[in-house]
Structure 1
Amino acid sequence: MNLNNLNLVELNAQEVQEVDGGFIWVVLGAIATACVYDWDNFERGLTGRPCKQ
C-alpha cells in the first residue's frame, strides 16, 4: 500500500511510543484478550476453583 496516496506518513519509534503510550498498553491488552477468550478458567482462578481441562 502506498501511504503517499492517503497523505499518511510512517511514525518513527519515538512517535509510536508517544502516541501508543508505550509497552504497558500492549501487555495489558494481551492480558485482557486472554481473559476474554478463556473467561471460564479466568473466573475459576479468581474463585479458587480448579481450571477446566
Structure 2
Amino acid sequence: MFEEYFDVKTELILMDWLLNDLFLSFFSYNILNCKQKNNLKNATKTLK
C-alpha cells in the first residue's frame, strides 16, 4: 500500500518537473525570439 502510494507520488513529481521544464524552455525560447525580432526591427530602423 505504502509503496504504491510512493510510486504514484514520485510519478506525479516527475511529471510536474517535466512540465515545468517544458514550460520554462518554451517560455525562455519565446523571450529570446521576441528579443531577436525587436533587434531586427531596430536594425532595420537604423539601416533606413
Q: What TM-score, normalized to structure 1?
A: 0.35
Higher RCO (CA < 8 A, seq sep 6+): 1
Q: Which has the larger radius of gyration?
A: 2
**Structure in which a larger fraction of residues adopt helix:** 2
TM-score (norm 2): 0.38
